[in-house]
Amino acid sequence: MSRRKTERLLNLVVCLLATRRYLTAEQIRRAVPGYPDSDEAFKRMFERDKEELRELGVPLEVGSDQQGGGGEEIGYRIPPQAYELPDIHLTPDEAAVLGLAARVWQRASMAEAASGALLKLRAAGVETDVATAVGVEPRVNTGDPAFPALWEAVRDGRPVAFDYQGIGRTSVARRHLEPWGVVSRRGRWYVVGFDRDREEERVFRLSRIVGEVAPDGPDGSVTVPDGVDVRKIAFDWGDPVTEPRPATVRLRAGAAQGVRRWAKDVRPMAGDGEWDEAVLTFRDVDRFAPYLARFGDDVVVLDPPDLREAVIQQLKSVLG
């Protein structure tokens, strides 16, 4: 909608709200800026504006102040009682829950939206009691770079495309998704939707998205199927990351004691008195790699490739 049209419709709403009488089309034409001088052009534009207001849910009332006579001219107005929102009434417990929810997002990427929501509630006279101290301070971490773009795509019904590195893979693949929702599970974030490449519903872990999330279609082109429960899909999908996986590493002799304590098997490497070889089990590359990287050059990952690459990237980031 153009700025000129937006201003005209806003002025029209203000005009029709401010009057107690029915205003005729001619009276509206004189009172509201932006209408053309031509009678025919005004009639067409006014008809479109009335339809636009009705589509926006504005209760446009049609009637006349004249009683009987048969020659009364049709007029328009917006009853304030039908247009205004009802007063918001929250119980103390409900207000406390809203304040707590806003605090959860206080240091996350949704902080601005949460703050704006509280501001609107206060403007409506609702106190949300955000200052009250609580025994446990809740926090939601949405540090994944892909989160804001995916949340906006879900909100706007917009398809997206991104590069994704799957479990056990050392390279990324381009994925095209119609996102249905973004959910948190066990401290990790996932996007659920329809995978256009595989033509089925899929779940993607946000921390495995590489680079930026790009729009892949117009707003409003994604339709979430009736009855879809994105949380149930994410929970039932199963997280292959939680399945134990073996890892083979080299440990410098006499070093990396923390790793040795829970290694399944530690053996001296044949013909080499400086290194031992150990077999470990892990579940999550993103958590295990930073742990191994802490031991620096006393630990060298041999297998699997994705864990080795993750440790190398971790060390490079520390060096940078």
Q: What region, left, alpha or beta, does residue 50 occupy, with left being phi > 0 and alpha being psi -120 to 50 degrees? A: alpha
- Do 153 and 188 belong to one domain? yes
Residue-wise pLDDT tens digits, 226-268: 888 888 888 776 554 457 889 999 999 888 888 888 788 888 8
pLDDT-derived band at 70 (thresholds 50, 70, 90) equals low
- Do 225 and 152 belong to one domain? yes
Mean pLDDT of 44-58: 90
User: If you ran DSSP here, which 8-state letter would residue 296 be given?
Assistant: G
Token pair in block for residue 159: 């398809």
Cα distance between residue 303 and residue 145, in whole Å: 28
- Do 151 and 236 belong to one domain? yes
- Do 182 and 222 belong to one domain? yes
Write the CATH number for 301: 3.30.70
- Do 53 and 98 belong to one domain? no
Token pair in block for residue 255: 């070093």
Residue-wise pLDDT tens digits, 175-185: 999 999 998 87
Task: Output the average pLDDT for the chain.
Answer: 82
Please say which residue of 195, 211, 240 terminates a domain: 240
Among residues of the chain, what percentage have pLDDT more than 90? 31
Q: Total structural domains in the chain?
A: 4
Write the CATH number for 236: 2.30.30
Residue-wise pLDDT tens digits, 118-149: 666 665 565 555 554 444 455 556 668 899 89
- Do 56 and 91 belong to one domain? no
- Do 274 and 287 belong to one domain? yes
Q: Which of 58-62, 114-118, 152-156, 307-311 has the lowest mean pLDDT?
A: 114-118
Tokens 């020659």 sit on residue: 71
pLDDT value at residue 318: 77
- Do 60 and 26 belong to one domain? yes
- Do 114 and 167 belong to one domain? no
Please say which residue of 213, 240, 267 terminates a domain: 240
Token pair in block for residue 267: 């053996």
Model confidence pTM above 0.95 = no
Cα distance between residue 183 and residue 174, in whole Å: 22
The pair phi, psi for residue 149, each rounded to 5°, is: -65, -40
- Do 78 and 97 belong to one domain? no
Which domain, by its residues, includes 14?
A: 3-83
Write the CATH number for 15: 1.10.10
Cα distance between residue 191 and residue 213, in whole Å: 12
- Do 151 and 228 belong to one domain? yes
Burial of 123 (0-12, 13-18, 19+ CB in 10 A): exposed
Do residues 46 and 28 lie in contact, with contact meaning Cβ atoms separated by under 8 Å?
Answer: yes
Please say which residue of 124, 140, 156 terminates a domain: 140
Cα distance between residue 216 and residue 57, in whole Å: 30
Cα distance between residue 219 and residue 158, in whole Å: 5
- Do 67 and 118 belong to one domain? no
Cα distance between residue 200 and residue 167, in whole Å: 19
